[in-house]
Amino acid sequence: MDTQNPIFLTNSKTRKKERFVPIDPKNVRLYLCGPTVYDRAHLGNARPVLVFDVLQRLLRHVYGADHVTYVRNFTDVDDKINATAMARKEAGAQGTLEELVHERSSETIDWYHQDMDALGAARPDHEPRATEYIDQMVTMIADLIAKGHAYEAKGHVLFRVRSYKDYGQLSGRSVDDMIAGARVEVAPFKEDPMDFVLWKPSTDDLPGWPSPWGRGRPGWHIECSAMADDLLWKKPLKQGRLSDAALARPHEFDIHGGGNDLTFPHHENEIAQSCCAHSDNANEVGFANVWLHNEMLQVEGKKMSKSLGNFFTVRDLLDQGIPGEVIRFVMLSTHYRKPMDWTEKKAQHANSTLDSFVSQTVNMEPAKDIPVEFLEALADDLNTSKAITVLYSLAKAKRFDELLASLLFLGFDFSTLDGGWVGNNTSRALEELVFELEKLRAEAMETKDFSQVDRLKTALIDAGVEVRMSKAGVELVSGPNFDAAKLEGL
């Protein structure tokens, strides 16, 4: 597929859709900025997870399951986590503040896993916690100071933004424009308003770690730089898993991404500090080769916010009885580079569609090969919307084994669904209606009165069910316009 149907991705850094060419086809490496684990994941948090889940599935298909390394981190150094830990300590909880922070983070990470698992998202190869990589962050900060890209001031260490000549390339703005339009933290010890924190001091009532600059904790941006470099460069280097092509591009990897709200300042700062930490006077080193950013999420046409009363978590929807597969289907129905609008109508449509697909593929073996048109859609900048259109075409053409193979590829594994899934209930309901229709037809053959048969057939067709009657028996197949609610009462 890579030669005949190459993968194209929109690179945020170049603002172009480009052919994806991995640094090393036998070791494709990608990094997604993960959640800050202080509470349940809201619906918007799920979008980059699903985008990268589809991406890593496609990459593993093209380059081999063992030739892709996918990292998604957990940020467990945060003031909101600290506040929860301090409240627990004041309430009498045993343990140090660091231990209570770890306890709270572990609890939230477990919630996150449960919710993302319910959406069918495969877990990454590595899920590092920031607190496990403090030593690597301290080493990177020390390198930046030694090279003149960072400085210590009143227990803080700050990055000199103007020391990196390409700062602003990702977001497309100059430093002066950023100062004029951005909310920057004003501090008397900063050399420049745009300089950002790499390390900050911790008081006795806050979690902290030892460093050359005193007890403290890292800034947000340095965390991802250190974890990405350790897991996507240093670790495979020690294991001897890097090709000559990869060794020629030290500290670089293939794809980095997240929501477009991270473009500035988080990703911009990651690029600056990483390139400066690993470059020297003779050689300049890059960072991520491709930057992938998804658009934001709306609810019923409005920005999701607590003030509007339309803010909810993934768990809220799951607890309402909305299957994770429905949430996944709605999310993937919109291209990742377009705003995604969650609506009740879309959820209902997704429910009916998946219900139809389940009934069409029940007890069927998936096709050995994934349909070419389906793969081509995904290879065209992860066009999941177009891929879903292909699913409808496969169903209409009765290519049900290929439909099932495509659904499985896209992360819809119906075999793992628990009893709450409407598709299972509907499949059983259709089976019962098959028996009912066969019974009515047998009676009609005796009485010559087919009015009851016609009545049930009309009701089924109205519900979007295709009725197939032959000498061999009756077969009911839910079609593209299937409405499970209309089966009730039949």
For residues 262 and 290, the answer to whether their CB atoms sit within 8 Å is: no
**In whole angstroms, what is the distance from residue 346 CA to residue 338 CA?**
16
Structure-token pair, residue 166: 């390409």
Distance of CA 389 to the CA centre of its chain: 21
Binding-site sequence positions for Zn(2+): 33, 224, 266, 270
Q: Are 198 and 160 in contact (CB under 8 A)?
A: no
Nearest 5°: phi and psi at 181? -110, -10
The residues pairing with 126 across neighbouring beta strands, listed in sequence order, are 71
Return the C-alpha torsion angle 452, 453, 458, 461, nearest 10: 150
Strand ranges in 377-431 using DSSP code E only, listed in sequence order: none
Using alpha carbons only, what angle is made at residue 112 by residues 107 and 118, rounded to the nearest 5 degrees?
A: 130
* Binding site members: 33, 224, 266, 270, 306
Count of alpha carbons within 13 Å of 449, Cβ hemisphere only?
Answer: 4
Write the secondary structure of 338-358 as one string of H (helix), E (strand) and C (coil): CCEEECHHHHHHHHHHHHHHH
Annotated binding site for ATP: 306
Distance CA 81, CA 419 (A): 35
Q: How far apart are CA 452 and CA 458, in angstroms?
A: 10
> Where would I find the beta strands (DSSP E) of 223-335?
253-259, 288-294, 297-299, 302-303
Q: Give dist(CA 374, CA 442) in Å, integer.
A: 43
DSSP string, 224-248: HHHHHHIIIIIHHHHTT---HHHHT
Q: List Cβ neighbours of 423 (8 Å cut-off, separation of 6 or more).
A: 354, 355, 357, 358, 359, 414, 417
**Is the distance from CB of 201 to CB of 155 less than 8 angstroms?**
yes
Characterize 412-450 residue by residue with b for buried, 16 or more Cβ atoms within 10 angstroms of its Cβ, and e for exposed.
bebeebeeebbbbebbebbeebeeebeebbeeeeeeeee
